[in-house]
Amino acid sequence: MKKTFLLAICLLFSMSIIAQDKLKTQIESIIKSIEDEHFETYKYLHAHPEVSLMEFETAKKMAGHLEDMGFEVSRNFGGNSVVGVLKNGKGPVIMLRTDMDALPIKEETGLPFASKAVMKDAAGNQVPAMHACGHDMHMTLWLGTLNTLVQLKKQWSGTIIAIAQQAEEVSGGANRMIEAGLFQKFSVPDYALAYHVNPELPAGSIGYYPGTIFGGVSSVDIHVYGYGGHGAMPHTTIDPIVLASRIVLAIQTIVSREIEPSQPAVVTVGSIHGGSKHNVIPDRVDLQLTVRFFSDEVYQQIIEGLERITRGIALSAGLSEEKLPEVIPLEGLTPPLANDPDLVNKGIQSMEKMLGADRMFEVNPSTVGEDFGKYGRTPEQVPIALFWLGGVEKEKYRDYRENGTPLPGLHNAAFHPDFFPTFSGGVAAMTRTMIDLFNEE
């Protein structure tokens, strides 16, 4: 009896392995059959970028593809964003998100389908446009994954919510969708997933971190006031240029001396403007800062430090209360992107089945910002996971590792991923992850 039971267990295990191998083969076969078609889509998207809040034609194209695949589509949701819903029986609800917007950068890749676009941005300025952050690749991966899942509908059961989001680069798109009632008008996802192309990992590999993978981002304006006058008689003034210079140096101690060393943070002054003439001391100097952080508590500590230090320096120079500096955190705060560790670990297990352990890389957190994290901070507390997807061509990656040859980074005019291995690896890994999540019960 015991021997029969053990044989039955072994048989079931063997059947499970065979089924997994069959699913792997099916996914790879579908990807092979669609990659050329999706390369044409990628080339079109790359050559026709639209900057943040201006993604009108891009959104139409994403909506059209979803409708062709049988999704129920809501256009212009919270702006230019698109929501597609595909119900395939009972089961979990999984959200898959892509961003759509490009950057105001003049492309210098030399690709035959390079962008030559010049367009009006949301403020009405004429700007060049380029997908220098890989959002064209994100959209193509998103479409490829959805296409593969539709062809494998017999292999899973549940609901897909497909999000094509506007304005990630200015950190406004996710907020607008949430404020428009994304999780009230559609099912609350059990999981939410996304990719971001990585400029330092080999094409088709996965970078993961089971925790806060991207930092929070805030822009801060500081207005420094003084009493202007003649440059030859500085004793009759309180010089805001000198005060601003003292402030720039003093606020560096917030990170180096006030924040616990185990908590990463950045305070960078990116712009300083004041004065109009060689011999005139102005009344005001303006500073523009970027702040990066990995917890809400550290962010509050930075803002409080900026207010205290600027106030103290102004008072020490003899300024009155009404002339103290203003510290103004701007709207559009991007919180840290906190991956759900359990969801990341589930994803790793699924992705490894398709790509192998040698293409899985645990990465360090990065101080770049990404508003995908906002979907995980709503009252619904949706578990989220964003994975890096390597995009570097094989020989360039080897040269980078062996010789230190620089690679174009994100937001660089020469950046572009190596399409075919990035596409095939990314679609295979995400498709398998979603199928396994749908079937986990």
What would the pLDDT profile of 319-347 be if each residue is shown by its tens digit? 999 999 999 999 888 999 999 999 999 99
What is the structure's pLDDT at 331? 82
Residue-wise pLDDT for 86-112, tens only, equals 999 999 999 999 999 999 999 999 999
Give the closest residue to 228 by CA, choosing from 247, 250, 243: 243
Q: Mean pLDDT throughout 132-137?
A: 98
Options 99, 239, 418, 436, the catalytic residue: 99
Q: Is the pLDDT of residue 19 over 90?
A: no
Q: Is 272 helix (H, G, I), strand (E, B) or coil?
A: strand
pTM of the model: 0.91
Q: For residue 201, what pLDDT band results from cuts at 50, 70 and 90?
A: very high
What is the structure's pLDDT at 1? 54
Q: Mean pLDDT throughout 37-54?
A: 98
Q: Is the pLDDT of residue 193 over 80?
A: yes
Instruction: Supply 257's token pair.
Output: 């001396």
- Delineate the domains of the chain, giving CATH numbers in brackets: 21-214+335-438 (3.40.630.10), 216-329 (3.30.70.360)
Q: Which residues sit opposite 219 in a β-bridge?
A: 290
Residue-wise pLDDT for 296-314, tens only, equals 999 999 999 999 999 999 9
Residue-wise pLDDT for 225-239, tens only, equals 999 999 999 999 999
What is the structure's pLDDT at 53? 97
CA separation, residue 435 to residues 24, 67, 439 (Å): 11, 21, 6
Q: For residue 16, what pLDDT band results from cuts at 50, 70 and 90?
A: low
* Helical residues (DSSP H) of 281-418, grouped into ranges: 296-316, 341-355, 394-403
Q: Is the pLDDT of residue 74 over 70?
A: yes
Give the type of residue at 231.
G
What is the structure's pLDDT at 11? 47
Question: Which carries the bigger pLDDT value, residue 204 or residue 1?
Answer: 204
Task: Identify whether 40 is a catalytic site residue.
Answer: no
Q: For residue 2, what pLDDT band results from cuts at 50, 70 and 90?
A: low
Task: Identify whether 169 is a catalytic site residue.
Answer: yes
For the chain, the average pLDDT equals: 95
What is the structure's pLDDT at 17? 53
Residue-wise pLDDT for 345-362, tens only, equals 999 999 999 999 999 999
Give the type of residue at 29.
S
Options 169, 340, 393, 436, the catalytic residue: 169
